[in-house]
Amino acid sequence: MNRSQAYAALLQWQAEAGADEAIGEVAFDRRAEMAAPKNAPSSPALAPAAAPADVDAIAAGAGSIEELAAILETFDGCALKKTASRLCLGDGVTTARLMLVGEGPGREEDLQGKPFVGRAGQLLDRMLNAIGHDRTSVYITNCVFWRPPGNRTPTPEETAVCRPFLDRQIEIVAPDVIIMLGAVAAQTLTGRKEGITKLRGRWFDIDVGGRQIPALAALHPAYLLRQPGQKKFAWRDMLAAQRKLEEKAGSA
């Protein structure tokens, strides 16, 4: 293998591992960083962003989803913002009775600034259609609002710093039912540590803004794309969510 074939193979290997985009203007030698003394300054992309002391108060200042988006455009407390192309906050209607919470934007979402628009999003749309919903009747968001580099799972620190903005969206939309898509959403919103196969199909009450909202843990559509045999569980969960919405409408 000559040198250019070796570079091409290396690039292909990185792309297959999910590292499909440059995240900085200049190349950075992470091996040199690992060898550097402990208290040497770290790479700008890795340095944790200073979280503002009172992120709750910042989020509470938003009276609408548009105001929340404007606040997030100037918020520098989440390091993911440095590597993402744009903010990806929510999609759908802000008066929806059904809200869905995913993990974080992927490549397509980062390009379009809208959650769940890639392959997983298209499957999610079909799942919603199956119970009579679409983006004109639901609100969709994520646990983090900037794409984690290479689509890695957001860290607990990243979900924690974004949490007040997720909670504020829940307060503003005030849905009757939430579906938590995948382990990150279920763990972030419930504080539980179990994996999604243990949590899925279970209801939890989420306390936000003095209200308790029933939230169902469900399988993430990206997982269903890899494990189509699990779709039967997703179908059960969508039906359970729809039944809960009907119960709530009946008791209102």
Site residues for ligand URA per CB under 6 A = 102-106, 109, 115-116, 118, 120-121, 142, 222
Q: Least distance in Å: CB of 125 to ligand URA?
A: 12
The C-alpha atoms of residue 176 and residue 215 are separated, in whole angstroms, by 9
Residue 132's Cβ-count burial label (10 Å; 0-12, 13-18, 19+) is exposed
Q: Least distance in Å: CB of 147 to ligand URA?
A: 9
Q: Which residue is nearest to ligand URA (CB)?
A: 102
Q: Least distance in Å: CB of 10 to ligand URA?
A: 27
The C-alpha atoms of residue 76 and residue 81 are separated, in whole angstroms, by 7
Q: Least distance in Å: CB of 188 to ligand URA?
A: 11
Give 123 or 172: the residue with its C-beta nearer to ligand URA.
Answer: 123
Residue 173 has, within 13 A of its CA and on its CB side, a CA count of: 30
Give 97 or 114: the residue with its C-beta nearer to ligand URA.
Answer: 114
Alpha carbon of residue 180 to chain centroid: 10
Long-range CB contacts for residues 25-30, cutoff 8 Å, separation at least 24 = none
| C-alpha distances in Å from residue 19, one per residue of 85, 88, 222 | 15, 20, 17
Give 92 or 102: the residue with its C-beta nearer to ligand URA.
Answer: 102
Give 77 or 105: the residue with its C-beta nearer to ligand URA.
Answer: 105
Give 118 or 175: the residue with its C-beta nearer to ligand URA.
Answer: 118
Q: Least distance in Å: CB of 140 to ligand URA?
A: 7
Torsion over CA: 161, 85, 168, 192 (sign): negative
The C-alpha atoms of residue 12 and residue 212 are separated, in whole angstroms, by 47
At 235 the three-state DSSP class reads helix
Give 145 or 204: the residue with its C-beta nearer to ligand URA.
Answer: 145
Q: Rg for the chain (alpha carbons), in Å?
A: 19
Q: Least distance in Å: CB of 32 to ligand URA?
A: 33
